[in-house]
Amino acid sequence: MLDRRVVVRTLLGGAGLVALLALVVGGANAVVLLGGRGAKTDPQAVPHAQAALVLGALVQADGRPSGMLEDRIRAAAALYRDGRVDKVLASGDHGRPDYDEVNAMRRELVRLGVPDKDVFTDHAGFATLDSVVRARKVFNVHSVVVVTQGFHMPRALWLARRAGLTAQGLE
pLDDT of residue 6: 64
pLDDT of residue 37: 56
Of residues 118, 5, 2, the one with CA closest to residue 54: 118
Crossing angle (nearest 10°) for helices 153-162 and 4-35: 80
Over residues 125-137, mean pLDDT: 97
pLDDT of 27 higher than 50? no
Reported in sequence order, the residue ranges of 13-96 that DSSP labels E, i.e. its strands, are: 39-40, 49-55, 85-91
Contact yes or no for 124/130 (Cβ under 8 A): yes
Q: What does pTM read for this prediction?
A: 0.82
Burial class (CB in 10 A: 0-12, 13-18, 19+), 28: exposed
Q: What is the pLDDT of residues 82-103, one digit of tens each?
A: 999 999 999 999 989 999 999 9
pLDDT of 18 higher than 60? no
pLDDT of residue 24: 46
